[in-house]
Structure 1
Amino acid sequence: MPWPDFTELTFGYAYLRELERRHATGGSFPLAPDFISQNEEAEKGYDVEVTLDGATPLFIQFKRSFVLTRSNAKEVLDGTYDGPQVFRMHLHKRGAYRQHKALQRLEADGHDVQYVTSQIYAQRQFQDAFAQKRIVSSASAHFLPSEIVLPDDVDDHHVSFKAEDAHGYVYSGEARQFTRKLINFDAWASRVRDRRRSYKENLQALERAVEVMSLDMPRQIPFARATSGEAIRLQPTIRGPVGPLLRGKPIEQQASILAYLTLDAQLVFVRDV
């Protein structure tokens, strides 16, 4: 069962760069690694209102699919597919699929959350797609976490699919079919366009996202004294090792940092699709 001839990091980088150059304001957007490493974004003074107004905040977790090229693959032998090439996207099992459940929880709160995985195999295919700016449109498959319903959180599960096929399959002991909402680039672009929000709406949505992603983190409830001497309860703050990373940061940076640290996901702001 071979891996593609490129790494997950290379695939994710190519996807983000194409997304940035073709579908972001001014050909660039702030990324989670930039925020975490303090890549002088504040000093460069990016315009957060321009970045967020009319954009769709998109939380992406990248995957790299196994490629099944032989007719003795389980998906072919059991009759799910009539032959290769079939792709398998595996999910993180750690913590009883904690990460998958967290992505589903964020999506259920109204945010746009997607798995993005490769649907090509050879290095030459990857290079051609990158050169022709087709990483997003043809080299990638998109799935919503809500589409992938696991029968349990104990066994190993993966998603099997073919490029631009109307259905995918959750596999463990047996195949469970589901309908794909993001079957191709047109479906993906339509969803992104339909979910664009104003600057104010995006700020409010990101505040909710921060709350959802930090639900399981310890909180501290600070108090202040009013001039009358009465204690005033302030907004709870996150404690632990993540707290200092968030302290004093604007909400879009907090959301980006939490996505990266808790969901292994990138937060991008997409428009112009």
Structure 2
Amino acid sequence: MTGPAKVAVAGLGAIGSKVAAALDAGLPGLKLVAVAAGEEAAARRLIASFREEVPILALGELAGLADIVVECLPPELFAELAGPTLAAGRTLIAASAGALLANEALVKMAAAHGGRIVVPSGALAGLDGLSAAAEAGLLSVRLVTRKPLRSLAQRVEVGGETIDLRDLAAPKRLYAGSVREAVAAFPVNVNVAASVAFAGLGPEQTQIEVWADPGASRNRHTLFVTSRAGAFTVEVENLPDPANPKTSSLTAYSLIACLRRLRAPFAVGS
């Protein structure tokens, strides 16, 4: 590819607005060419501060302009963006890793049309090590996620039971089991679990615990990996994003780092 790669950002919430702003400020080898947003007025206010004006398009139109489409959407809109993007043979960088579990046919679509799906590390460290351990042979992968109450809904429904968190006084385990079921129960809270599953043993064999902790101020993820090459544990504590406490502040910067690596002449890690 000669010249800068053309990039579009779908979704301008807490994550997407930071990614779009970083592209406008300048990432080597990349150029922001379009955005999509649910609230056009808010999108226009953001774009007004950019160095270069870009069009606001519908989700299905982004692949017509861009080589790379960055997804920063609510999970229910994922397929509406991903389908046209991959059918056009573009690269999709997916923040909503959990949504891929309900849309796994998109991987075959990408292969059939020359497209590519890239899942960044998001709010978790250790995925490079997990991928390497998978090559050696994984024996077990477990993720424990602890969330402050403001990172969760006031009421959560798990396994047909509704749990009211408003008066929670002590840490409570909300879920223990497979990643696939956890993502269905917490679609906007455990994207990191889907990333772990894709990098390792898959969504059925990867285990996760989700805790609500009234004493916590940060999202804490602890990853336990055992393989034929050894074992390791990774713990990450992330501040909730001020604009959306359901996501970690690190997530947007993970997407920016992923974009930077795509065209970098020198890169460390995957």
TM-score norm. by structure 2 comes to 0.24
Q: Indicate the structure whose relative CO is greater, using CA pairs within 8 Å and at least 6 residues apart.
A: 1
User: Which entry has the higher C-alpha Rg, 1 or 2?
Assistant: 1
